[in-house]
Structure 1
Amino acid sequence: MTTAYGSDHDAGFNGDFSDGYGGDFRTEGNGGEPARSLEEWNPTEESVRPVRGRHRVAKQRSGLARSSTVLGVGVIAAVGAGGMATAQSKPPVSISVPDSITENLPDAASLPGVGALFSDDSDKDASEDVTATTPLTSAGITAAEAEQGRTDAGEALRARILQQAEQQQDAAAAEAKAAEEAAAAEKAAAEAKKQQDEAEAKAAAEKKKAEEEAKKKAEALRLAKLAASYAVPTSSYTITSTYGQAGSMWSSGHHTGLDFAAPTGTPVKAVHGGTIKSAGWSGSYGYRTVLELEDGTEVWYCHQSSIGVSVGQKVATGETIGRVGATGNVTGPHLHLEIHTPDGTGVDPMAWLRGKGLNI
């Protein structure tokens, strides 16, 4: 009789288990000897004798086929469980199967729902085969991540997201820093330009001021030199009438010269060196002397009480040429002085004398 264990046993065993499957069992026989416990049986390849008989071989093969199928599905389930454990950051469970069983396992490609994952095409690239056999939990993991020990797809995705967020944050910070530096540079450039403009304006103002001062000094020097060669026409005087002054006492309606009121007999002097062009009576001007300068300018001395020079005579600056008087159309003793340009146009004597460096 073949038991569920498929092994030999004592002849006195009548087939009844007294304590369920796998428990101790007793027999009564062999002259009523007390029942004895069977020792635990651990079959090995050497202790198990090959099963003989056609019927038994077929029966055992059928049981082995069913057991192999169940075991194969169990192995796949275990592998899947190991992958799930890996996805949950748990260490994988290793499963060892005896060689006698693995030799009879069915081909994985023939299992329902699994064969589609395999291909008989032997021409595919090795990279495609590696991808097909890669566990689902490591899908999408780069070589760098694998080297860093990241074998969990979820953890790798999380790491990538964090890395991308950090990169975006760094890029935003760099952009903000660049904008801040650009604004600071623009502000610094504007400030530098402002300072440069102010410095240039200050330098231009100082230059202009220096030029004006230099011009004034040059003019003062020129006037000083002129003053050395020009003289005031009389002394002890008072200005009573100026050039252009309106009034009915003048036939032209306005005054054509500059009046120096002084006592009669006060010396009249040549304002600059020149030649006496005329000297004598001249109607309403009384006694008049005309001095022509080197540039053709004429200086008229009118209302003199006496004339001390003659026509054609050359005189020097400050030389006495006559005396203050009250001849002609006058109201009192004074020197009426007129200045005429080379073309005969009358100009303001005060301005002309001051232009020669004289203080009137």
Structure 2
Amino acid sequence: MASNRPAPQGAYVPNDDDFGGYDDNSWEEWNPTEESIRPVRGRHRVHKRGGGGLARSSTVLGVGVIAAVGAGGIATAQGGKPPVSIEMPDLSAVKDSLPEAKSLPGVGSLISDDSSDAGSADNGVTVAAAPLSAAGISSADAEQGTTDAGEALRARIMEQAENQQDQADDAVQKAAEEAAVKQAAEQAAAKQTAAEKKIAAEKAAAKKKAEAEAKKKAEAERLAKLAKSYTLPVASYTLTGTFGQPGSMWSSGYHTGLDFAAPTGTPIKAIHSGTVKEAGWAGAYGYRTVLELDDGTELWFCHQSSMNVSVGQKVTTGETIGRVGATGNVTGAHLHLEVHPGGDSTGVDPAAWLRGKGQSL
């Protein structure tokens, strides 16, 4: 009977230690034949050198299995069944319709076009480390796509972190710029408001000043006009008594008029046009003439030495109505002048009244 072909040698050969220290030389070469693989009935194969038959059979079977696996397939105990074939569908049509992997976002950098260019220990070439880019991988690796999946994931994470940091920095810078713009706008608005207030205040002050000047000018014009229609009662005089001056010589306890001291006989003029309301003796006032103006104001000319008008007579400004004297309760020749607005018994200061009519004392 012809023997079968030797079994293919496996990639793995057990040593002495793999089988508990047994010497592999104590086993004969296994060359299975039709007779040897036929089911054994009632008899057992016994090692020619004695002992350990069961262990040898198990070991040989394990070596055969390992050898069969190393050769590319698992040998069955019967050895007659062919390997099961698996049919795969033709994916060429589908493959042609799919886009290239390099064109997909985030995938192109993970695929290497030429793996033979990578520096390794096999070809004995040492590749110098290229400088790292901002994403955490070298520029050469980024261009050639030689980074592995872990490094690519790390690079993506680093890139995302840098992008997030850049976005945060941009947000902070934008917020700072917006705050600066807002502050500048507020400052500009405040300056503009202050400038507007200043301009308004200056305009108001200028307007007020102009109004005051206009009022002053109008008053000057009015007084100039009044000065033409009013005059002082005597041309040459000395003021010897003022309004409100206290003293026991006056029955009211204070001086009620304005005294113009002048020599006896000095002409007394009508201060303004009016009508003679009284002309005669008036006790402590001596000879007194009361001249009523158009507005109802009464002018009292007292202590006259003589009178030149009569009751009901109309006189004009500057017309002589009497002369200075010392009649009545006096200490010397003078004109006692009193002013009673509206005919009131209580008089006002003649000096202020005359100044209001454009007269200077």
Q: Is the 8 A contact 2:240 2:259 kept in 1?
A: yes
Match of 1:271 in 2: 271
1:145 is paired with a residue whose SS is coil
Q: 1:148 offset after TM fit, Å?
A: 6.8
* Structure 1 segment 67-216 matched on structure 2, within 5 A: 67-68=71-72, 144-146=105-107, 152-216=152-216
Aligned length: 247
Tell me, in whole angstroms, the C-alpha distance in 2 between the residues paired with 1:66 and 1:283: 164
2:270 aligned partner, one-letter code: A
8 Å contact 1:69–1:105 — kept in the other structure? no
- How far, CA to CA, are the matches of 1:168 and 1:322 in structure 2? 105
Aligned to 1:44: none
**1:336 is the counterpart of 2:297:** no
Question: Cα 1:242–1:185, aligned 2, differ >3 Å: closer, same or farther?
Answer: same
Query: 1:278/1:156 Cα in 2 relative to 1: closer, same or farther (>3 Å)?
Result: same
**1:69, CA displacement in angstroms?**
6.3
Matches of 1:146 and 1:62 in 2, distance apart? 40
Q: 1:64 to 1:265 in 2, by over 3 A?
A: same
Report the AA paired with residue 198 of structure 1: K
Distance, in Å, in 1 between the alignment partners of 2:283 and 2:256 is 15
Structure 2 CA distance for aligned equivalents of residues 307 and 268 of structure 1: 9
Map 1:219-298 → 2, pairs under 5 A: 219-298=219-298
| Structural RMSD (CA) | 3.3
Q: Which residue does the alignment assign to 2:23?
A: none
> How far is 1:304 from its partner?
0.8
| Equivalent in the alignment of 2:310 | 310
For 1:312 and 1:5, locate their aligned partners in 2 and report how far apart those are by CA, in whole Å: 170
- The offset of 1:273, in angstroms, is 0.4
Q: For structure 2, list consecutive stretches of 5 or more residues without a partner in the other structure.
A: 10-32, 36-60, 75-82, 87-97, 111-141, 143-148
Which blocks of at least 5 consecutive residues in structure 1 are unaligned? 7-52, 71-103, 108-129
Residue in 2 that maps onto 1:356: 357
Asked whether the 8 Å contact 1:257–1:339 carries over to 2, the reply is yes
- The residue that corresponds to 2:90 in the other structure is none
CA deviation digits over 1:91-124, x for unaligned, max 9?
xxxxxxxxxxxxx8998xxxxxxxxxxxxxxxxx
Amino acid at match of 1:359: S
**TM-score, normalization by structure 2:** 0.62
Distance 1:54 1:311 in 2: 183
AA at the equivalent of 1:68: G
Note if contact 1:68-1:105 (Cα within 8 Å) is conserved in structure 2: no
The aligned amino acid for 2:196 is Q
C-alpha distance in 2, partners of 1:106/1:263?
162
CA 1:270–1:143 in 2, change beyond 3 Å: closer, same or farther? farther
Give the direction of change, closer, same or farther, for the CA distance of 1:182–1:144 in structure 2 (3 Å limit).
farther
- Distance of 1:178 and 1:338 partners within structure 2: 79
Give distance in 1, aligned partners of 2:232 and 2:357. Answer: 10
Q: Secondary structure at the match of 1:189?
A: helix
Query: Alignment identity in percent?
Result: 55
**3-state SS of paired residue (1:351):** helix
Alpha-carbon distance between aligned partners in 2 of 1:69 and 1:204, rounded to the nearest angstrom: 111
CA distance in 1, matches of 2:207, 2:215: 12
Letter in 2 for 1:298: E
